[in-house]
Chains A and B, each alone.
Chain A
Amino acid sequence: MTGVLPITLEEARKIVQALLLSGKEYVCLMKLHGEATEEQVKRVLKEFENTIYQRPPLRASVKRRLRTRKIYYIDFLEMEGRNMLFRVGCEAGTYIRKLCFDIGEVLGCGAHMQELRRTRAGPFVENGDIVTLHDVTYWFMEWQQQKDDKILRKFIQPMEKALALVPKIYVRDSAVDAICHGANLTAPGVLSLETGISTGSMVAVFTLKGEAVALAKAVASTEEILNMEHGVVAETERVLMPRGTYPKCWKSGET
């Protein structure tokens, strides 16, 4: 199985949690065990769009109890004899091998997953900045020899890229260091924020320079935060920026 596998380096491993919870997209080659027409296959695929039930397979790293997963879309691509190709956008933790088996059951003829390529993991997609292990080896050697940092940017993205789909709250310089020490974000520190934040949802706290400060849990919605003058707006869960990057402005008051 091939495709998008984001690799987090050193400190960036702290954002893995955000990636693990983000949706995925795959292109899958499925092998039917009997005859079926294109129309039958297309109709059955549409039945799997929306919420599905899945029991994790025997060899799984999670508890094997029936759970629901969202299929955002499942599109027929092409078919040749008993080989069928489809694209699926789904919630994290969806087993595609299981999905193929279940599609086969509904079709009546049975089916199994033959090949799988992941075309998206959260904000990372296969066209654009994707690199192979060979690219990594080559560009890293080039960078060591030439010491030109432009080369690094050819195969490494800042961890902020991994947070592209997480709603952001931009904060004042003066609020940054307290958050780096684990404090919660309060209303006066907020400069701007993205739509779609709801109570309990994960947010990313960013500086005006576009640096990630922390992952946090919102305790109010976008609209509520906009009108708040004091109080906690997000509880810090995972600090991403080292302490002391920005000056300490707490206890001694605002700068």
Chain B
Amino acid sequence: MPRTVAPWEIERKLLVKAEDKTNPRYGHKPEERPAEDYIKYGVINLDKPAGPTSHEVAAWVKRILKLQRVGHGGTLEA
């Protein structure tokens, strides 16, 4: 039985349906967002240390960066 392809092994191609330009007056490329927005719409690829729970680690990041809300993508046990 052939194994299932992992999501990160799938190669996708971009197919064009119509051509258009984007107006530079609106929005920003993600990496060019003003600092405040860059943080607000940001994700940290964190190396979780052993010991604390995923929840505790997220709370620490919240405190370090003085933010209102943070979340984490998938609990990794303590």
Report A's interface with B, CB cutoff 8 A.
1-13, 15-16, 19-20, 22-25, 49-51, 61, 70, 72-73, 89, 92, 97, 116, 118, 120-124, 126, 128-133, 136-137, 140, 143, 149, 152-153, 155-162, 165, 167, 170, 172-173, 176, 190-196, 207-212, 222, 225-226, 240-241, 245-247
- A164–B43 CA distance with the chains assembled, in angstroms: 13
Knowing A12-B40, A133-B46, A158-B41, the reply to whether A194 touches B14 (Cβ < 8 A) is yes
- A129–B44 CA distance with the chains assembled, in angstroms: 9
| B48-78 at interface with A (beta carbon < 8 Å) | 48-50, 54, 57-58, 60-61, 64-65, 67-78
Q: 10 additional contacts, CB 8 Å, given A9-B41, A72-B5, A158-B38? A: A4-B76, A5-B58, A97-B77, A143-B35, A152-B39, A156-B42, A161-B43, A162-B73, A173-B23, A207-B27
Which B residue's beta carbon lies closest to that of A193? B15
A9 touching B42, Cβ below 8 Å? yes
Q: Which bucket holds chain B's interface residue count?
A: 35 or more
A131 touching B8, Cβ below 8 Å? no
A132 touching B47, Cβ below 8 Å? yes
B47 touching A126, Cβ below 8 Å? yes
Knowing A7-B71, A9-B70, A152-B38, the reply to whether A131 touches B45 (Cβ < 8 A) is yes
CB-CB under 8 A from A132, the residues of chain B are 46-47, 49
> Can you list 24 A-B pairs with a CB-CB distance of less than 8 A?
A1-B50, A1-B76, A3-B47, A3-B76, A6-B43, A8-B73, A10-B69, A12-B43, A13-B69, A72-B3, A131-B45, A133-B46, A136-B61, A152-B39, A156-B39, A156-B42, A161-B43, A173-B26, A192-B18, A193-B17, A196-B10, A210-B30, A211-B30, A245-B27
Knowing A2-B49, A133-B49, A159-B42, the reply to whether A247 touches B26 (Cβ < 8 A) is yes
Knowing A5-B57, A13-B69, A23-B6, the reply to whether A157 touches B42 (Cβ < 8 A) is yes
A9 touching B44, Cβ below 8 Å? yes
- A24–B75 CA distance with the chains assembled, in angstroms: 11
Knowing A7-B70, A10-B39, the reply to whether A1 touches B47 (Cβ < 8 A) is no
- A97–B8 CA distance with the chains assembled, in angstroms: 23
CB-CB under 8 A from B21, the residues of chain A are 208
- A130–B44 CA distance with the chains assembled, in angstroms: 8
